[in-house]
């Protein structure tokens, strides 16, 4: 039973990325671009990144947009398509987890070993 529980938690803890992290896109049309994470969908393992993956959406007329028509909005991308850009060394990096003395977990940059704190 204990095993099942830890399995269930895995997808969320595996993400290791948080809102407001700066990420670099490493796959797809927007490869090489960087942006800030606006939203994280842990269950879907998807994120929305500012300025990345614009999708056109057809909208019906509304109060904000009386004409209706097409608006462009960031669409979700899979988290595996991005790498977190370390705020300390400025490089896209893999994230490591370090357990601190008080038992809390901190994210560390595998590149420079500094802690990554999301703003
Ligand atoms: Zn670093």
- Concatenated DSSP letters for 54-69? EEEEEE---SS-TT-E
- pLDDT number for residue 59: 85
* pLDDT grade for 10, boundaries at 50, 70 and 90: very low
Q: Name the domain count of the chain.
A: 1
Q: Quote the distance between the C-alpha of residue 28 and its chain's center.
A: 15
Is the pLDDT score of 13 beyond 60? no
Cα 108 to averaged position of ligand 1 atoms, centre (Å): 8
Quick one: average pLDDT of 29-53?
Answer: 95
Cα 116 to averaged position of ligand 1 atoms, centre (Å): 8
Task: Give the domain range for residue 43.
Answer: 2-88
- pLDDT number for residue 11: 41
* Residue 47 forms part of a structural domain: yes
* Residue 82 forms part of a structural domain: yes
**Token pair of 83, please?**
């790498």
Give dist(CA 94, CA 23) in Å, integer.
Answer: 11
pLDDT digits (tens, 9 = 90+) for 80-89: 999 999 999 9
In DSSP notation, 39-98 reads EEETTTTEEEETTSSEEEEEE---SS-TT-EEEEEEPPEEGGGEEEEPTTT-SEE-EEEE
Cα 42 to averaged position of ligand 1 atoms, centre (Å): 24
Residue 77 exposure: Cα atoms within 13 Å on the Cβ side? 28
Cα 56 to averaged position of ligand 1 atoms, centre (Å): 35
* Residue 99 forms part of a structural domain: no
More confident residue, 97 or 14: 97
**Domain harbouring 32, CATH code:** 2.30.30.30
């Amino acid at each position: 039973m204990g095993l099942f529980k830890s399995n269930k938690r895995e997808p969320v803890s595996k993400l290791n990325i948080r809102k407001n992290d700066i990420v670099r896109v490493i796959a797809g049309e927007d490869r090489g671009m960087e942006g800030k994470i606006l939203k994280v969908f842990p269950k879907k393992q998807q994120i929305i990144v500012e300025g990345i993956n614009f999708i056109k959406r057809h909208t019906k007329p509304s109060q904000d947009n009386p004409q209706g028509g097409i608006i462009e909005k960031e669409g979700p991308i899979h988290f595996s398509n991005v790498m977190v850009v370390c705020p300390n060394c400025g490089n896209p990096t893999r994230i490591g987890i370090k357990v601190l003395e008080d038992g809390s977990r901190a994210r560390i940059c595998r590149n420079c070993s500094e802690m990554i704190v999301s703003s």
